[in-house]
Amino acid sequence: RKEVEQDPGPFNVPEGATVAFNCTYSNSASQSFFWYRQDCRKEPKLLMSVYSSGNEDGRFTAQLNRASQYISLLIRDSKLSDSATYLCVVKPRGYNKLIFGAGTRLAVHP
Amino acid sequence: EAQVTQNPRYLITVTGKKLTVTCSQNMNHEYMSWYRQDPGLGLRQIYYSMNVEVTDKGDVPEGYKVSRKEKRNFPLILESPSPNQTSLYFCASVSPLADTQYFGPGTRLTVL
């Protein structure tokens, strides 16, 4: 079983749609959680950290459920520029490394 | 401007011909890391370095070497490349306060 699992997609949605991505992780001792965004053939970039209380950044909302070992990302009012691959990332406690999911691809169309 | 640079960006080589991919950061970060990215597998850590002269294996270190003689540079060395090392490689520099990884632009390597 992969340490971080994501639905690979692709998610094809029209502009303005709301889309949700889910991610599960296997290590219950994981400490920190992130969503990264990766455009085609480019480097990943931090989109947002994920906190236990949930957090929002404009149209983006991230949620963490430690009991279920589950992370989500909600994108409201999708834009064409949101088309990218979204990577779920987990940092285990006591380790100086990040574990990346394989990513979920989003394609927003007019 | 804070950045991580990698060179070369693209490389086609042949089996067994030693190569080095350079990585440099200007943020004075102590922690740096190398990843490879393959379709369906996500990013996998090859090696990391906690500081100058301190390096350790990641999840997929076989066939790779690294060195950290200066804080800003963290080259990745393939002594005898093989076709299964064809991949997209990213160097990353890590901010200690925010756990944020700053990635270089990537090096697309093809080994024939």
Burial of B12 (0-12, 13-18, 19+ CB in 10 A): exposed
Q: Which residue of B lies nearest to A88 if distances are taken between CA atoms?
A: B42
Q: What is the pLDDT of residues A35-48, one digit of tens each?
A: 999 999 899 999 99
Q: Which residues does chain A have within 8 Å of residue B41's beta carbon, measured at their own beta carbons?
A: 102
Minimal Cβ distance to A44: which of B33, B40, B103? B103
**Which of A34, A100, A102 faces B40 most closely, judged by CB atoms?**
A102
Q: Categorize the per-residue pLDDT at B40 as very low, low, confident or very high, splitting at 50, 70 and 90.
A: confident
Q: Please name the residue of chain B whose CA is at the shortest distance from the CA of residue A31.
A: B99
Looking at the DSSP bridge assignments, the partners of residue A88 are: A35
SS3 at position B26 = coil
What number of CA atoms fall less than 13 Å from residue B77's CA on the CB side? 8
Q: What is the DSSP letter of A38?
A: E
B4, closest residue in chain A (CA to CA): A43
- Beta strands in chain A, from DSSP E residues, in sequence order: 4-6, 11-14, 19-25, 30-38, 45-50, 55-57, 60-65, 70-75, 84-92, 99-100, 104-109
Q: Give the closest-approach CA distance of B99 to chain A in angstroms.
A: 8
Residue A51 pLDDT level (bands cut at 50, 70, 90):
confident
CA A13, A18, A23: angle at the middle one, nearest 5?
A: 90
How confident is the model over A58-110, as pLDDT tens digits?
Answer: 999 999 999 999 999 999 999 999 999 999 999 887 767 788 999 999 999 99
If you write DSSP's letter for every residue of B39-73 in order, what string do you get?
TTTEEEEEEEEEETTEEEE-S--TT-EE--SSSSB
- How many Cβ pairs within 8 Å bridge chains A and B? 47
Rounded CA-CA distance B106/A44 in Å is 10
A41/B33 CB distance under 8 A: no
Partners of B48 on chain A (C-beta within 8 Å) are 96-97
**How many residues are listed for chain A in this entry?**
110
CA angle B78, B19, B21 (to 5 degrees): 85
Among A8, A46, A103, beta carbon nearest to B100: A46
Q: Does position A28 have pLDDT exceeding 90, yes or no?
A: no
Q: In B, which residues are within 8 Å of A91 by CB distance?
A: 99
Tens digits of residue pLDDT in B23-34: 999 999 999 999
Per-residue pLDDT tens over the stretch B48-83: 999 999 999 999 999 999 999 999 999 999 999 999
